[in-house]
Amino acid sequence: MAAAAKHPLPTDFRALDDCHQQIGQHLERLGALMDHLDREGVDDHARTEADTIERFFSTTSQRHHLDEETKVFPQLLGSTDVDLVATVRMLQQDHGWIEEDWLAIAPQLRAIAAGYNWYDPAELRHALQVFLELCREHIALEESLIYPEAKAQAEKLQRRRAALPPLVFKAGAPSSS
């Protein structure tokens, strides 16, 4: 345990967890925005919210998917657990669908942010519901299965590395060049 404390987990997992919190908050805001639009239409509050939410899902959220694709999924895809590998492949597929859905939603939010109200409320509500559900299910699966598995693997590697003696070169050793 002392060795693990000397070599804390890479901050990536903390950043990924924080990002899930932020995604959750923005999903809540997205649901609230839809309700607000139904009640009040496009007013100043709707414009500001649409702008903030659109920026978040078009930037931070997409970077989060990229982080998972490069820092979390690859180590799990090498597992001998076929169910685990199948789940990771499904989550990769989810990323594609989430981004595809977002490409359809984002222009409508940008229009609302600019003060236009040409969107179709029923279509937008349906699209947002599909997006909210997919994102929430996706995050729940990552947090209940994939992140714990990835963290356990990282801790195992870290313990192994901490147990290995450090390489020491003696000064004055003959050079190969």
The minimum distance between CB 104 and Fe ion, in angstroms, equals 19
Least distance from Fe ion to the Cβ atom of residue 60, Å:
11
Q: Where are the alpha helices (DSSP H) in 81-146?
A: 82-113, 121-141
Rounded CA separation 99/45 (Å): 26
Binding string, residues 49-88; x marks residues near Fe ion by CB under 5 A: -------------------x--------------------
149 in contact with Fe ion (CB under 5 A): no
Number of residues located near Fe ion, criterion CB under 5 A = 2
Q: How far is the CB of 84 from Fe ion (least distance, A)?
A: 15
Length in residues, the chain = 177
Closest to Fe ion by CB, 17 or 43:
17
Tokens of 21: 């919190």
Euclidean distance between CA atoms 125 and 31, whole angstroms: 9
Instruction: Give the range of 30-38, 79-87, 102-110, 134-142 binding Fe ion by CB under 5 A.
Output: 134-142
Torsion of CA 135, 138, 144, 147, to 10 degrees: -100
Rg, Å, the chain Cα set: 22
Q: Which residues bind Fe ion (CB under 5 A)?
A: 68, 142
